[in-house]
Amino acid sequence: MGNKVVRYLIGFVLLSVIPLQEGLAWGPAGHRIVGHIAEMNLDPEVLNTIRKKFNIKHLANVANWADAIKRSDPKPDVLHYTNIAVSHRTYDQKRDCPRKRCVTEKIKEYESILIDHVSSPRTRKEAFKFLVHLVADVHQPMHLGYEKDRGGNEIAVYFGKKPTNLHSVWDHDLIFLKGKTQLQFARQLNRSITSEDKKQWTGGTPDDWSNESRALVLDYGYRLQFSKGQELSLDYIREGRKIVEERLQRAGIRLADMLNRLFKN
For 236-250, write each residue's pLDDT tens digit: 999 999 999 999 999
Confidence at 26, pLDDT banded by 50, 70, 90: low
Cα–Cα dist 65/54, whole Å: 14
Q: Where are the domains of the chain?
A: 2-263
Q: Is the dihedral of CA 88, 67, 201, 100 positive or negative?
A: positive
Confidence at 61, pLDDT banded by 50, 70, 90: very high
Cα–Cα dist 248/139, whole Å: 7
Q: What is the mean pLDDT of residues 87-105?
A: 97
3 state DSSP class of 4: helix
In this model, does residue 234 exceed pLDDT 60?
A: yes
Q: Could you tell me if 197 and 127 are in contact, meaning their C-beta atoms sit under 8 angstroms apart?
A: no
pLDDT tens readout for residues 110-159: 999 999 889 999 999 999 999 999 999 999 999 999 999 999 999 999 99
Supply the angle between the helices 31-40 and 121-137 in degrees, to the nearest 10: 110
Give the full edge-to-edge strand order of the sheet including 162-165: 162-165, 156-159, 231-232, 226-228
pLDDT tens readout for residues 33-46: 999 999 999 999 99
The lowest-confidence range among 36-40, 71-75, 150-154, 178-182 is 71-75
Quick one: pLDDT at residue 3? 47
> Which residues contact residue 56 at a Cβ distance below 8 angstroms, ignoring those fewer than 6 apart?
50, 62, 125, 128, 129
Phi, psi (5° rounding) for residue 228?
A: -165, 140
The arrangement of secondary structure in 2-263, i.e. its CATH architecture, is Orthogonal Bundle (1.10)
Cα–Cα dist 196/136, whole Å: 21
In this model, does residue 172 exceed pLDDT 80?
A: yes
Q: Which of 227, 151, 182, 236 is nearest to 25 (CA)?
A: 182
pTM exceeds 0.85 for this model:
yes
Instruction: Pick left, alpha or beta for residue 92 (phi over 0 → left; psi -120 to 50 → alpha; otherwise beta).
Output: beta
CA distances to 1, 45, 71, 101, 248 from 82, rounded to whole Å, are 49, 33, 19, 9, 18
Supply the angle between the helices 44-54 and 121-137 in degrees, to the nearest 10: 130
3 state DSSP class of 164: strand
Helices then strands, counting H and E runs in the chain, come out as 12, 4
26: amino acid identity, one letter: W
Cα–Cα dist 213/145, whole Å: 9
In this model, does residue 180 exceed pLDDT 80?
A: yes
DSSP E strands in the chain: the ranges are: 156-159, 162-165, 226-228, 231-232
